[in-house]
A = this chain, B = another copy of it.
Amino acid sequence: MRKVSESTVKRLSRYYRVLRLLEKEGYVTVSSKELAKIEKLTPAQVRKDLSLFGSFGTRGLGYKVLELKEKIASILGLDKTWKVALIGVGNVGSALVSYKEFAKQGFLIKLLFDNDQRKIGKNHKGIIIKDVKDLVKELKESKIEMVIIAVPADQAQKVVDQVVKAGIRTILNFAPANIKVPDQVFLRTVNMAMELEHLSFALINQI
């Protein structure tokens, strides 16, 4: 496959959300011009993004909403369900367990881990919290495909090392730490403080 940029993937996620909405509102077709307007992009950008994966439109008409939505779902891997484990059932972890958007997109949190003896064995929103000691064994047995890290920063690297050892190739990290993984592992880090820093930069520099 031709190279797909980070920005293109992000925009696909956005198109997907717009299409879901348009579908609900009863729209049958949508043009690149309309999509672009909604997302504040150029029509050419929208067409270029989509053309990386095939020709989904009809000249003179545009794209069929339902069809394009499903195409993008398939490109992003949203037409299947993913088994996800979450490590660290603290403040952030608990919030993520309740985060509806995950399940809506097929990301099903199947396992929870913590290292706190008071939490281990407890039922949290229908899932028994397991001991992080058994991480590698449990991840393998449950055929988990993705892992979300929500442990304190100083424990994150250690936990990630275990996760990698269990053969997991995709990790979403919420710990504010600079984590290292082997090349073949996909790691994305969400750092909420860095998002605020971006805003304070914008404010100070009056962009």
Q: Which residues of A contact B (CB under 8 A)?
A: 1, 4, 6, 9-10, 12-14, 16-18, 21, 38-39, 75-78, 82, 84, 91-92, 94-96, 98-99, 101-102, 104-105, 107, 145-146, 169-172, 176, 178, 186, 188, 190-205, 207
Known: A200-B146, A203-B77. A10 touches B194 (CB 8 A): yes
Contact B178 A17 (CB under 8 A): yes
Q: Which residues of B contact A172 (CB under 8 A)?
A: 192, 195-196, 199
Q: Which residues of B contact A203 (CB under 8 A)?
A: 77, 145-146, 169-170, 186
* Shortest Cβ distance from residue A178 to the other chain B in the assembled complex, whole angstroms: 7
Smallest Cβ-Cβ distance to A193: which chain B residue: B101
Q: Taking the full assembly, how many copies of this chain does it contain?
A: 2
Complex Cα spacing A171 to B203, Å: 11
**CB < 8 Å: which of B1, B95, B102, B197 contacts A92?**
B95
Contact B145 A96 (CB under 8 A): no
Top-3 shortest CB links A-B: A77-B200, A101-B193, A95-B95
Q: Which residues of B contact A39 (CB under 8 A)?
A: 178
Q: What are 16 A-to-B residue pairs whose CB atoms are below 8 Å?
A: A1-B205, A6-B198, A9-B198, A13-B191, A13-B197, A76-B201, A77-B200, A77-B204, A82-B200, A91-B99, A145-B203, A146-B200, A146-B203, A172-B195, A186-B203, A188-B199
Contact A102 B9 (CB under 8 A): no
Contact A101 B170 (CB under 8 A): no
Known: A193-B105, A205-B4. A200 touches B94 (CB 8 A): no
